[in-house]
Structure 1
Amino acid sequence: MGSDYLVAVKHHIDAKRICARLEQLSACSATAVGVTRLPFTKESAEAEQLVEQWMAAAGMAVRKDSLNNLIGRYEGRNPSAPVLLIGSHLDSVIEAGKYDGTLGVLTGIEVVQALRDAGIVPENPIEVIGFCDEEGVRFHSTFLGSKAVAGLFTDSDLARTDEQGISVAEALRQAGIENPYEYQSARRRPEELLAYLELHMEQGPVLECEQQPVGVVTGIAGATRFSFEITGKSGHAGTVPVSIRQDALLGASELISFIEKQALLHEPLVATVGKLTVHPGASNVIPGRVSGTLDIRDLHVERKEQAIQAILGEAERMAAARGLQICFEQVMEVSPVYCDEKLMAILAASIQERGGPVIQMVSGAGHDAMAMAHVTDVAMIFVRCLDGLSHHPDEFVAEEDIGAGAEVLLSAVTKLVLA
Structure 2
Amino acid sequence: MSDTERQVHATARRAKEAAAELAPLGREAKDAALHAVADALVAEAASIVEANAEDVQRARRAGEPGAMVDRLTLTEERVAAIAGAVREVAELPDPVGEVVRGSVLPNGLELTQIRVPMGVIGIIYEGRPNVTADAAVLCLKSGNAALLRGSSSAYSSNTRIVEVIRGALEKTDVPVDAVQLVPGAGRDSAQALMRARGLVDVLIPRGGGSLIQAVVRDSTVPVIETGEGNCHVYVDEHADLDKALAIALNAKTQRCSVCNAAETTLVHRAVADRFLPRFLADLADLGVTVHGDDAVLAHDDRVVPATEADWGTEYLSMDIAVKVVDSLDEAVAHIREYSTSHTEAIVTDSQSAARRFVSRVDSAAVMVNASTRFTDGGEFGFGAEIGISTQKLHARGPMGLREMTSTKYVVTGDGHVR
TM norm structure 2: 0.29
The answer to which structure has the higher helix fraction is: 2
TM norm structure 1: 0.29
Q: Highest relative contact order (Cα 8 Å, sep 6+), 1 or 2?
A: 1
